[in-house]
Every structure is written in structure tokens, then in C-alpha cells.
A and B are shown apart, each in its own frame.
Chain A
Amino acid sequence: MGIPVSMTVNGKAVAAEIEPRTLLAQFLREHLRLTGTHVGCDTGQCGACTIHLNGRAVKACNLLTAQAQGAQIVTIEGVAAANGELHPMQAAFRQHHGLQCGFCTPGMVMAALDLVKRQPNPTEDAIRAGLDGNLCRCTGYHNIVKAVQTGAAAMKG
């Protein structure tokens, strides 16, 4: 039995009829084919599925799609400029080699953007603490921290 949902995803209005048990991550990946939102765990820890819901970072695999009814959603696909130019935070990740296999990256970037919104001048400790909802197995976080610092500075500039 389907229920109707509607929301705005990356600036576009979307509506669909879904099974109530559809997770938001599933809806984004399978219904909208926005496969940049990744699923890395089933207990809500890894953060690879992080997206913005009404401007706040949340884990899309830990939300029913229905919970996002009427919301403004931004996924990693909606971060770069319309012409494809990287957002300063994305550019900083590239500049500092803040990604390796790329799987945690979309979630990490979304979490970093939210972090900088809260703390425009984050210290190293604040960045490390602020990324507590995201696991990366490749980078040891060293370069992610540098990227977020640089990204934060660039976002002010």
C-alpha cells in the first residue's frame, strides 16, 4: 500500500507514491537514481548516507522517506555549481587529498558543510569532534581535517 510523499531535492520538486517502509536513502538512490548518497552500514553509524534535510545534516539511511515529507533535501549531487564547478569545500577535499576510495566522501562533505555552518572557524579539535558521525577507513582523517579547515576559510572568502 503506497503513501504519497513530496519534497524538494536539490532544488527540484519531487513527488512519488512509496511503500511506507522506504528509507530516505533508498528513495534517493533507487527512485531518484541519485546514487551519490551511499549506504555503508545498517545501524546508523558510518554516515556515508549523510544529506541535508532542511539545512541540517542527517543520515538518509536512518530516516523513513515519510519523515522527510515536505522537506528541502540537498544531496551531494546538489552541492557543486550548476556549471559543474566544485563547491569550495569539495575543492578543498581535492586539494588536500581528503578522499581516497570516495565511498565515505559524499557523506563526509555533507557533514563538513553542516559543521562549517555551525562553526565558521573550526579548530582541528572541533573538526575532529564535529565529524563524529562519519567513518572513513582510508584517510586516517588527517587530510580530511586539513580539507575542512581550508574549505571553511574558502567559504568565508
Chain B
Amino acid sequence: MYAFEYHRPSSIKEAASLARKLADAKLIAGGQSMVPALKLRLARPTAMIDLNDLPELRGISVVGTNVVIGALTRHAEVAASKDVLMTLPVLAKVAAGIGDHQVRNMGTLGGAIANNDPAADYPAALLGLGATVTTNKRDIPADKFFTGMYETALKPGEIIASVSFPMAKRAAYIKFRNPASRFALVGVFVSETAGNVRVAVTGAAPCVFRVKNMEKALASKFAPEAIARIRVPADNLNSDLHAGAEYRSHLITVLAQRAVEAALSGK
């Protein structure tokens, strides 16, 4: 690991001003992706800005028909939250399947979505539910938030405060794991909210994306067979050691159907 300065701001404002001021500084929340990169000397930030003293970024609340989760809330907290389990159980399930148990005890919602790993689970949940990301500056709808591979709409000095998830009539997330990393080889999130169906796919392409033709088919009939013949073309899908684009394309259809089935059965 290279040497760096360490800062532990006590307010979001201070954190944001440090982030703007310090060139090549990195925000650290749980650090579960950041620390390995540091250890391997694959990152050389001049400073780390630790957000762990910002309790206002933590917590889960139900606001009307939305579940609002603070950016610093750990995956394990979301997975175990009674509020989440009561109002939006699919989100608890997504959180419970991220990384491994120890990672879930450290990793945070804000960290995960700011990192936007192409195979991460939370981006699928945000996009699949049409969630809204609230930063210290503005609200960003999920459709605008994830802009590319490891890229988001966040600007320098912009810090995620919370994410607001609309409750769903029904929803499910099915993940086919990479056997080594346990990230999503392909993960499909399906939801039906008031008059709105969403299908979001992670792991399959450089960035999480929606499958509009599946959404359309499901909007007219929310049943697995409605999408059984819809394929996402392999052209722009990822191909790596573990899965080729063709296989990923196939998995999207299989998993989407399973997600619909699971959403219908409420499991």
C-alpha cells in the first residue's frame, strides 16, 4: 500500500470540502473494494476521507411508499432490517446476497453504488425499482445515476446521502453467481410497482441496464412465459473467462423468467 493522508470529517460538508480540495483523494465508507485495490498497489490516492463518523448517513426509514436507506448503512443491516423485510423484502434479499458475510458487515449501500462494479447487485435493485439517489447536492434517478462501467453521475465532491426505494407490488432478484468471486455472472431484478414494470440486469454488460422489451411484455402479462422468447442480443454483453456473451444472453432470459416466477410466488 502506498502512503496517504487520512481524514475523518465530522460533517458531510467537511467531507465534501475535503473531497473537493484534495487532489486524488478517495472517499472510504466500508472499503471492501477500495482496500484490496490499495493493498495491491493498484490505486494511489493521496488521501483517504473516511465517512464513518457521519451518523447522519446511516439508517433506514419508511417514508410514505418509499424505503429510505442512508448511504452508510451496511449490507447486513439492510438484510436484517425489520422495516425492509416488512415493506420491501426483495431489497433485504439483494443485500443478503452481496459478497460474503464479513463483507456485508462492512460494505455500505453508498459505497457499492458509487463504485458501480459492473457485476454488483445493488445497482440492479436501484435500477430495477426506479430508486432515487439523494446526494448532498441533488436527487438523481437511478436511470440517470449509473452511466457506465464503474461510472456514475456523481461529481467531484458530491457525496451520496441516501437512496429512496419505492415499494413494489411484487419484485424479485435472481443472481447466478460467478463461482469464484460470488459477484453476479448475471443478475436479473424484476419489479412491478404501481403500473410500472422494470427489468434490470447486472453482471452481463459493462454497466447495469434495463431490458425494455421484457418490461413491455411483462406489463401486458406479468408471467414467465411472456418473456420466454425475448433475448438480449449477445453483441454488447461481457465475455470473460467465466462466461461468454452468448451464455450470458441465455442466462438473462432464464433468470428473468425465474425472477418473474419468484415475484409472483412472493418468495
Contacts and interface: CB of A to CB of B under 8 A. Distances in A.
User: Direct contact between A and B in the complex (CB less than 8 angstroms)?
Assistant: yes
Interface of A: 1, 3, 19-21, 23, 42-45, 47, 50, 53, 56-59, 61-64, 66-67, 69, 111, 114-115, 118, 130-134
Given A62-B31, A63-B106, A133 B101 contact: yes
B153 interface: no
Given A50-B102, A58-B106, A63 B31 contact: yes
Interface residues of B, number: 29
Nearest to A65: B6
8 contacts: A21-B3, A43-B36, A50-B102, A62-B36, A64-B50, A66-B8, A69-B52, A115-B101
Contact of B50 (A61, A67, A133): A67
Chief secondary structure at chain A's binding surface:
mixed
Interface of B: 1-6, 8, 28, 31-32, 35-36, 38-40, 48, 50, 52, 76, 80, 99-103, 105-106, 181-182
Given A62-B36, A132-B100, A1 B105 contact: no
B40 A66 contact: no
The secondary structure that dominates the B interface is mixed
A51 B84 CA distance: 27
Contacts of A1: 5
Given A21-B38, A42-B40, A56-B76, A130 B101 contact: yes
